[in-house]
């Protein structure tokens, strides 16, 4: 595991990324915990508040003339002589070009698209703001950490000194709720001096997993594109996919952002995805526990 991590660091260093290897003592100093054997930091990285980011993107788009209709699911999508006809509970419209960007929430709007990904509930929690005496101990330099467990843990502080942590997931929303308890124990083990951990916020949502762990772009029909399957890492990737999809629609595609158009491949036995996710998670947890 440590060898893989070193290789990853070396790969990025060879690409002249601003990365540095962290020996256990420096890692322990940054994260207030000595349990990791080593790690690396990408100094180009950082964190965003994703809801503020999404709102900022929407505001920028609206400033350029886009209209946003939230809480308006498209119920049907059909090609007509005049273009694509989209129907919602609140009204209908006809569009020359359509992009489906529904990721883990993909439903049956376009035949079988939902069967190309496995939706998984991902979970995150936020503590109350940490006391001033603790903030400096755990990622006080603004670092965003994720580890190499198969069911990885990731955490950081937000701008108010709350500790945000994610990790684990479930095929079902009811299972996602159970993950909160695991996160509480994890935070307690990292920060025993913080005492009883209360969450100010806890939330979950669906991410979309693909068999190859890459995002997929599909040209489903002329004038109909889809980009999905960000495997829980879509904040940056989905933004980039948005640009690639828009450039493709506007025929302003840039060669450096070339992205393959994949034939949609519905997963066999997709109806058994819940059991498959549950079994895979259990196996991964077992391996993580064995390897420490
Ligand atoms: C708890 C949690 C933690 C995460 N942490 C990270 C992280 O640390 N880093 C990271 O990079 N990513 C993270 N992610 C993943 C990230 O949020 C997603 O990859 C990203 O939101 C994908 O963006 P998207 O626009 O493709 O899809 P989404 O943000 O899922 O948006 C899809 C939208 O499509 C809408 N929709 C669905 N069907 C229809 C329809 N028929 N008509 C109209 N609208 C429809 C849905 O309502 C939804 O608003 C996390 C996700 C969760 C849930």
High-pLDDT (> 90) share of the chain, %: 64
Are residue 198 and residue 284 in the same domain, yes or no? yes
Q: Please choose, from the candidates 122, 126, 83, the residue with its C-alpha nearest in 3D space to the C-alpha of residue 204.
A: 122
Taking residue 126's Cβ as centre, other Cβ atoms within 10 Å add up to: 17
The verdict on 257 and 127 lying in the same domain is no
pLDDT at 283: 66
In a domain, 271, yes or no: no
Q: Give per-residue pLDDT as tens, 158-172.
A: 999 999 999 877 877
In a domain, 18, yes or no: yes
**Does residue 168 have its Cβ closer than 6 Å to ligand 1?**
no
Average pLDDT over residues 191-207: 88
172 and 284 housed in the same domain: yes
Same domain, 186 and 205: yes
What CATH number does the domain containing 253 carry? Answer: 3.50.50.60
The string of pLDDT tens digits covering residues 36-56 is 889 999 999 989 999 999 999
Residue 74 is predicted with a pLDDT of 98
Name the more confident of 222 and 185: 222
Please tell me the predicted confidence (pLDDT) of residue 245. Answer: 96
Are 72 and 145 in the same domain? no
Largest CA distance in the chain: 67
Which residue's CA is the closest to the ligand 1 atom numbered 53?
A: 205
Kindly state if the Cβ of 73 falls inside 6 Å of ligand 1.
Answer: yes
Q: Is 232 in the pocket of ligand 1 (CB under 6 A)?
A: yes
Q: What is the pLDDT of residues 66-94, one digit of tens each?
A: 999 999 999 999 999 999 999 999 999 99
Residue 268 counted as domain residue:
no
Asked whether 124 lines ligand 1 (CB < 6 A), one says yes
Indicate the pLDDT class of residue 289, thresholds 50, 70 and 90: low
Same domain, 242 and 284: no
pTM: 0.90
Residue 275 located in a structural domain = no
Rounded to the nearest whole angstrom, what is the distance from the C-alpha of residue 208 to the centroid of ligand 1?
8
pLDDT range class, residue 176, cuts 50, 70, 90: confident
At 65 the pLDDT is 97
So what's the pLDDT on residue 276? 73
What's the gap in Å between 238 CA and the centre of ligand 1? Answer: 9
User: Is 176 in the same domain as 191?
Assistant: yes
Distance CA 239, CA 89 (A): 28
- The tokens describing 177, both together, are 């709720």
pLDDT for the residue 292 = 64
Residues 128 and 27 in one domain: no
CA–CA gap between residue 280 and residue 215 (Å, rounded): 20
Residues 218 and 103 in one domain: yes
Alpha carbon of 121 to ligand 1 centroid (Å): 11
- What domain range includes position 160? 121-209+280-292
Does residue 266 fall inside a structural domain?
no
Would you say the CB of residue 210 lies under 6 angstroms from ligand 1? no
Q: Which residues pair with 157 in a beta bridge?
A: 163
Q: Which pLDDT score, from 0 to 100, does residue 113 have?
A: 96
pLDDT band at residue 35 using 50, 70 and 90 as cut-offs: confident
Number of domains present in the structure of the chain? 3
- Ligand 1 centre to CA of 105 (Å) is 8
């Amino acid at each position: 595991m440590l060898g893989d991590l070193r290789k990853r660091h070396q790969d990025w260093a060879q690409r002249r990324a601003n990365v540095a290897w962290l020996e256990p003592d420096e890692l322990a100093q940054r994260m207030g915990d000595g349990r990791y054997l080593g790690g690396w930091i990408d100094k180009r990285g950082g964190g965003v508040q994703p809801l503020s980011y999404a709102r900022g993107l929407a505001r920028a788009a609206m400033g350029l003339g886009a209209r946003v209709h939230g809480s308006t699911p498209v119920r049907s999508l059909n090609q007509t002589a005049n273009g694509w006809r989209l129907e919602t509970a609140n009204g209908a419209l006809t569009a020359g070009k359509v992009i489906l960007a529904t990721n883990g929430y993909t439903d049956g709007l376009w035949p079988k698209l939902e069967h190309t990904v496995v939706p998984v509930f991902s979970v995150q929690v936020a503590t109350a703001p940490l006391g001033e005496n603790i903030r400096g101990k755990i990622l006080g330099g603004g670092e965003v950490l994720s580890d190499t467990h198969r069911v990885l843990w990731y955490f950081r502080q937000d701008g108010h000194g709350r500790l945000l942590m994610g990790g684990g997931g479930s095929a079902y929303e009811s299972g996602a709720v159970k993950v909160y308890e695991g996160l509480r124990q994890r935070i307690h083990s990292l920060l025993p001096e913080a005492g009883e951990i209360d969450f100010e916020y806890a939330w979950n949502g669906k991410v979309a997993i693909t068999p190859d762990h890459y995002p997929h772009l599909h040209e489903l029909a002329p004038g109909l594109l889809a980009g999905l399957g960000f495997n829980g890492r879509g904040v940056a990737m989905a933004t980039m996919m948005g640009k690639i999809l828009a450039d493709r629609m506007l025929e302003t595609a840039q060669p450096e952002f070339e992205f393959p158009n994949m034939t949609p491949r519905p997963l066999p036995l997709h109806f058994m995805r819940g059991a498959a996710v549950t079994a895979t998670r259990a196996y991964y947890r077992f391996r993580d526990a064995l390897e420490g």
